C-alpha cells in the first residue's frame, strides 16, 4: 500500500509574492500598539515574509504592511526587526528569527 503524502501548508511572501512552505517563511503580526512583530503562535491575522534581503527591505514601505494586515492607521516594524541583513549567518537577530 502506498503511503499518503502529508499536506504541507503554503503561504505567500508579502515581499515578493512567491509561494513557499509555511516553515520556510517568517510569520509577522501587528500588536495592539501598531508595531509589526514576529509571531510563533499562529493566532489571528498574520503575514509571511521570506528570510532574504530583497523581501525584508520591502517591509520598509508602510503601504505593503497596511495591505498585508488590512489596517488603515499607522503601522511600523518593531525596532528589533529594522535593519536586518540576511545571508551572513552571524547576525544574532537573524538566528533568533529563523
- CATH number of the domain at 31, please: 3.30.1230.10
Domain membership of residue 4 (yes or no) is no
pLDDT reported for residue 4: 80
Query: Residue 14, exposed/middle/buried by CB under 10 A (0-12, 13-18, 19+)?
Result: buried
What's the whole-model pTM score?
A: 0.79
Q: What is the pLDDT of residues 13-60, one digit of tens each?
A: 999 999 999 989 999 999 888 899 988 887 888 999 998 888 888 888
Question: Which of 58, 62, 52, 61 is CA-nearest to residue 94?
Answer: 52
pLDDT reported for residue 10: 95
d(CA 54, CA 58): 7
Domain membership of residue 5 (yes or no) is no
Domain membership of residue 44 (yes or no) is yes
CA 25 to chain centre: 6
Q: What is the pLDDT of residues 58-81, one digit of tens each?
A: 888 888 999 999 988 888 888 888
Q: Give me 78's grid cell.
A: 518593531
Q: Could you give the 3-state DSSP secondary structure of residue 18?
A: coil
Structural domain tally of the chain? 1
- HSE (side-chain half, CA atoms, 13 Å) at 16: 13
Domain membership of residue 1 (yes or no) is no
Domain membership of residue 17 (yes or no) is yes
Amino acid at each position: 500500500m502506498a503511503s499518503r503524502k502529508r499536506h504541507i501548508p503554503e503561504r505567500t511572501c508579502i515581499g515578493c509574492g512567491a509561494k513557499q512552505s509555511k516553515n520556510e517563511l517568517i510569520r509577522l503580526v501587528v500588536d495592539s500598539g501598531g508595531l509589526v512583530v514576529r509571531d510563533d503562535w499562529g493566532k489571528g491575522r498574520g503575514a509571511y515574509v521570506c528570510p532574504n534581503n530583497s523581501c525584508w527591505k520591502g517591509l520598509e514601505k508602510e503601504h505593503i504592511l497596511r495591505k498585508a494586515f488590512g489596517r488603515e492607521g499607522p503601522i511600523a516594524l518593531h525596532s528589533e526587526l529594522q535593519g536586518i541583513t540576511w545571508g551572513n549567518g552571524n547576525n544574532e537577530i537573524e538566528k533568533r528569527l529563523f
